[in-house]
Amino acid sequence: MAKILVVDDEVKILKMVSDYLEAVGFEVTGASDGITGLKTFRESNFDLIVLDFMMPGIDGIDVIRRIREESAIPIVMLTARAEENDKLMGLEIGADDYIVKPFSMKELAARIRAVLRRAGKGGELNINSAEIIKYSNLEMNTVKRSLTRDGVAIDLTMVQFELLKALLLSPGRVFTRSDLLGVLQEASYESYERTIDVHIKNIRKVVEPVPSEPQYIMTVWGVGYKLAEE
C-alpha cells in the first residue's frame, strides 16, 4: 500500500482528498500547512506527496525546493492557477506533475497511480529495458533507478529519470516533444510540449559538464531532442 502525504491549507480539500485516497487503497497522512508538511515528510517514509501550490507562510514552491534538497520523492502539485507560466514554474523547481483545481477525485487518483508506476512503486518494471546503461561518464541502473556521473550518485526526479532513460537507450535517435510526452504516458490527460523543455533543462543541469553548452542532450531545432552518439 503506497503511503501518501497530502499538504493543503484548505481543510475541506485536505479532508476530501485524504478520505477519497484512503477509500481507493492508499495510506494517507495529512498536513494543513507547509511547515507541518515538511516536518511530517522528514519524520516518516512516504511514496508520494500531494502538495498545494498556494499556502500561507511557506508556500508550495518553497516546500518543493526544500524537499528537493533532500529527496527525489514524486510530487504532484495542486494549483488553482491555470496559467502556463505557473505550471512551468512548479515543474522547473521539481514537481513531477500538476493538477488544476477544481479537479475530480478520480483524476487525482489516476495521476497519482501513473506517477507511482513511473517511479517503480506499485507498478511493473519494463523488462525490455537494459538493467545497466553506460554513456560517457554516466551509468544508469534501471532496476535500482539510480544514476551516477564519474561514480558520484546524482538525484533525479521520477520524470527526469524516465526521460533520460529513453534518451540513453537510443543514442542518435531524434525524439519529438510528443514522443517524450508518450514516454511519460501523459498523452491521455492535460499536458503540453513546453513541459518537456523544462524537464530537459533540469536534466542538463545535473548531467552536462556545462549545462549552457550541452554535449550529451542535443536540441534538434523545430523537432525535439536527441542524445549525441559517442
Looking up residue 43, the CATH number of its domain turns out to be 3.40.50.2300
Instruction: Please say which residue of 89, 118, 147 terminates a domain.
Output: 118
Instruction: Quick: pLDDT tens for 49-101.
Output: 999 988 888 888 899 999 998 888 999 998 876 666 667 777 888 888 888 88
Q: Are residues 220 and 146 in the same domain?
A: yes
The parent domain of residue 150 ranges over 132-227
Query: What is the pLDDT, as a whole number, of residue 96?
Result: 86
3-state secondary structure of 103: coil
**Whole-angstrom distance, CA of residue 75 vs CA of residue 61:** 11
Q: Are residues 138 and 91 in the same domain?
A: no
**177 is a domain residue:** yes
- Examine the pLDDT at 48 and tell me if it is beyond 60: yes
Tell me the mean pLDDT in the region 164-191. 78
Query: What is the pLDDT, as a whole number, of residue 164?
Result: 94
Computed over every residue of the chain, the mean pLDDT equals 85
Q: Count other C-beta atoms under 10 Å from residue 212's C-beta.
A: 7
Q: Are residues 81 and 136 in the same domain?
A: no
Selected residue with higher pLDDT from 19 and 81? 19
3-state secondary structure of 50: strand
Q: Are residues 31 and 82 in the same domain?
A: yes
Q: Are residues 112 and 201 in the same domain?
A: no
Instruction: Quick: pLDDT tens for 88-135.
Output: 777 888 888 888 888 889 889 988 988 888 776 643 334 344 588 899
Q: Are residues 17 and 78 in the same domain?
A: yes
**Whole-angstrom distance, CA of residue 210 vs CA of residue 119:** 28
Helices and strands counted in the chain (H then E): 8, 12
Q: Are residues 17 and 103 in the same domain?
A: yes
Domain count, the chain: 2
CATH of the domain at 201: 1.10.10.10
Q: Are residues 91 and 155 in the same domain?
A: no
Tell which residue, 97, 90, 148, 150, has the closest CA to residue 119: 97
What residues are paired with 220 via a beta bridge? 224
Non-local (6+) Cβ contacts of 163 within 8 A are 180, 183, 184, 196, 199, 200, 203
Tell which residue, 70, 2, 12, has the closest CA to residue 39: 70
**125 is a domain residue:** no
Query: What is the pLDDT, as a whole number, of residue 84?
Result: 63
- Examine the pLDDT at 225 and tell me if it is beyond 60: yes
- Examine the pLDDT at 6 and tell me if it is beyond 60: yes
Residues above pLDDT 70, as percent of the chain = 89
Instruction: Quick: pLDDT tens for 206-221.
Output: 999 999 999 999 999 9
Q: Are residues 70 and 102 in the same domain?
A: yes
Q: Are residues 22 and 106 in the same domain?
A: yes
**Whole-angstrom distance, CA of residue 166 vs CA of residue 126:** 12
**127 is a domain residue:** no
